Structure 1
Amino acid sequence: MHEDLPMQYRPISFERLADELTERVTDLRETTWARVAVDGAACATDTAGLADALVDRLRVRGREVLRVSARDFLRPASLRFERGRHDPDARYDDWLDVGALRREVLDPLAPDGTGLVLPALWDTARDRALRLPRTPLPRGGVLLLDGELLLGRGLPLELTVHLWLSAPALERRLPEHAHWALPAYARYEHEVAPARSADVVVRTDRPDHPAVLVS
């Protein structure tokens, strides 16, 4: 984010944030499927927790939901670590298998798609394919995807949520062993400006006191 430009944030509780996002997703009824991404720095923001919080809320409203994590669509270790395990440009460019995520998850939920989604592709712990069956998502259903560095890749999404951290907060919240990735996040801020490109931006410098960017 370009912090020199004024931006106004509205304080909000986590529960209220989840409620408001549920309303926002529910309003996407004109789409055949709703593809929603929650984006934020891994190990520093709880993208999975926020996406999980929407599941039951949406189901209560009669929407079928499928949860997918981008970390299950990373490339094999031989490709991710080709330039070393701590290369920030590789983290930015090479870790996520964008083509597979689009092909196996997002494209099947296009208006003319089949609705058959592969929920996970790669087991990074064992570094091998998971070989899971495809999961059908009925028309009108919602895909909730969480991950990092998702914006600016041309992924077809109906709603994007970005959990933003200031540079000092990111460095403070990121575990020390992961500080090598800081240049990747700085590059993301510079090249993508997620706080300007996401549909919903949540400032999470203080995780117990989030704030929503006022449009």
Structure 2
Amino acid sequence: MRTDIIDAAARLLQEQGVRAVTTRAVAEAAGVQAPTIYRLFGDKDGLIDAVAEHVMATYVATKTTEAADDPVAELRAGWRVHIEFGVANPDLFRLLHTSPRPSPATAAGIDVLRRRIRRLAAAGLLRVDEQRALDMIHAAGTGTVFALLATPPGERDPGLADALFDAVCTGLLTTTAPARDDGVATAAVTFLTVLADLPALTDAERALMAEWLTRSLARLRNP
């Protein structure tokens, strides 16, 4: 029954847009009573979250994003899936990224991005700290989708997404341009990544070292 309700809501969203996804309409399309939706999902927001997770999981399952030996290629593949998903599901994408309430589906996507950025940092490829990298990529990816959605399909630049990815990576990765800090920031970011695994240090010593490295990175960004 839960699956039938999610499928019905997803069809309404895809075919008629966000406004069509009312509790009454979904209940009718799924052949259930409205109280059943509240019992299974809590409220309409809970239903939308379930729809988002279902649609995203179904879409991502059709894509290959792993590039185990190349964290940069893995990041690029994930970027493309994000852009393609947003363009293919405009109503859902707008709903997820304009709602004041954080969506579990969005949070799950950010967690995946965070793990990919950690791989870059561990490989010594980041020239900024991990949180800055995550914020930049997430903002750029979301903005790219909205820019494409604001353009009529026949007028969209097919190379825009890849060009923006390359532009963002120029500021993030040591592999795209010479580092202005001669590798100091890259070393600090990499050290922060492995700090928790260093032996023979107390928690207090790790915290102090993390504070020093974070302060140094902030000074390098804003001399």
TM-score range, shorter chain: under 0.3
RCO higher in 1 or 2 (8 Å CA, sep ≥ 6)? 1
Greater fraction helix: 2
Greater fraction strand: 1
Q: TM-score, normalised by structure 2?
A: 0.27
Higher Cα radius of gyration: 2
